[in-house]
């Protein structure tokens, strides 16, 4: 038998407090399924036992990390929303030197990296840009996520046939990947080593990360309530250099939530630019 609504709410509230993701009543069945996985992981017989453990001992350590990991939705793909990547390739990268003439290097932050397809797509563009522009100042890429299992996959940089078929051109596949004996594809070190991965909760301070010329924070704010979104936008704004850019997911908007960002269209994709 499944957990009662009140018991599921206990976990939903915990998840919302820790990482902001909202589990509404309509997706409690999904939460229950995810708690079943936790029962297996913890060697418990039922989700009721998971609840009893949580109430008795608190949710901490591996239990907490596993709960937060499975609460996340990691849907992603290479070059997701191609127009965004066209804009990075044709507008953002070629204008870095003009927009920031005094910079010695440039910094890009991918704030919800999931399994790595997004930061590695950016890395491929940066690699191609640097090759075409020898002597251009260095461009660093930082990618972060809250989920340990996602960061592990980012660092492994190995993708299934299905994953590489989603968004990656045949040319880039053969150029940047090697095929493993089990049929999966490993990203070559020349691209893998361009991205630095770290754990970062978007609800925490970004102070240790420094400032960026481009921030990609895509398909993650949809899971937050309006107050949390506002707080995140305020902190995101502070991490972006004046004239720097922010990209959101297709269904997301900063309208009414951010004060220092202007919405602009770059080759048909919506970007936000920090006021100068």
Q: Closer to ligand SAM at the Cβ: 2 or 249? A: 249
Q: Closer to ligand SAM at the Cβ: 147 or 246? A: 147
Q: Closer to ligand SAM at the Cβ: 28 or 197? A: 197
- Of the candidates 182, 189, 191, the one whose C-alpha atom is nearest the C-alpha of residue 161 is 182
How many alpha carbons fall within 13 Å on the CB side of residue 117?
A: 23
Nearest approach, Cβ of residue 194 and ligand SAM (Å): 17
Nearest approach, Cβ of residue 232 and ligand SAM (Å): 8
Residues that bind ligand SAM (CB under 6 A): 19-21, 72-76, 80, 112, 114, 118, 145-147, 150, 201-203, 218-220, 249
Residue ranges with strand state E in the chain: 106-110, 139-145, 158-159, 177-179, 185-187, 195-199, 212-217, 240-248, 261-266, 269-274
Please tell me whether residue 266 adopts helix, strand or coil conformation: strand
Angstrom distance (rounded) from CA 89 to CA 106? 15
Nearest approach, Cβ of residue 71 and ligand SAM (Å): 8
Angstrom distance (rounded) from CA 248 to CA 214? 11
Angstrom distance (rounded) from CA 32 to CA 120? 33
Q: Closer to ligand SAM at the Cβ: 53 or 166? A: 166
- Of the candidates 105, 67, 86, 43, the one whose C-alpha atom is nearest the C-alpha of residue 241 is 105
Nearest approach, Cβ of residue 79 and ligand SAM (Å): 10
Q: Closer to ligand SAM at the Cβ: 74 or 184? A: 74
Q: Closer to ligand SAM at the Cβ: 19 or 123? A: 19
Q: How buried is residue 124: exposed, middle or buried, by Cβ count under 10 Å (0-12/13-18/19+)?
A: buried
Structure tokens at 78: 């290479």
Nearest approach, Cβ of residue 266 and ligand SAM (Å): 17
Nearest approach, Cβ of residue 206 and ligand SAM (Å): 11
């Amino acid at each position: 038998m499944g957990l009662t609504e009140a018991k599921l709410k206990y976990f939903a509230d915990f998840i919302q407090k820790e990482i902001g993701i909202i589990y509404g009543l309509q997706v409690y069945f999904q939460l229950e399924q995810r708690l079943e996985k936790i029962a297996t992981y913890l060697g418990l017989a039922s989700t009721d036992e998971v609840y009893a453990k949580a109430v008795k001992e608190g949710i901490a350590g591996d239990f907490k990390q596993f709960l937060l990991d499975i609460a996340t939705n990691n849907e992603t793909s290479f070059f997701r929303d191609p127009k965004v990547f066209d804009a990075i390739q044709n507008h953002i990268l070629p204008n870095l030197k003009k927009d920031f003439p005094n910079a010695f290097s440039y910094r890009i932050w991918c704030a919800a990296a999931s399994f790595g397809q997004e930061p590695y797509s950016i890395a491929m563009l940066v690699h191609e840009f640097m090759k075409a522009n020898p002597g251009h100042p260095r461009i660093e890429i930082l990618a972060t996520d809250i989920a340990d299992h996602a960061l592990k996959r980012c660092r492994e940089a190995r993708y299934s046939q299905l994953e590489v078929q989603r968004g990656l051109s045949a040319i880039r596949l053969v150029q940047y990947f090697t095929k493993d004996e089990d049929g999966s594809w490993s990203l070559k070190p020349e691209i893998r080593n361009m991205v630095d991965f770290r754990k970062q909760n978007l609800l925490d301070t970004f102070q240790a990360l420094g400032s960026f010329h481009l921030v990609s924070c895509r398909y993650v704010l949809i899971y937050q309530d309006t107050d949390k979104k506002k707080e995140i936008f305020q902190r995101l704004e502070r991490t972006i250099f004046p004239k720097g850019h922010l990209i959101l997911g297709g269904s997301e908007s900063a309208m009414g939530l951010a004060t220092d960002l202007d919405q602009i269209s770059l080759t048909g994709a919506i970007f936000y630019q920090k006021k100068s």
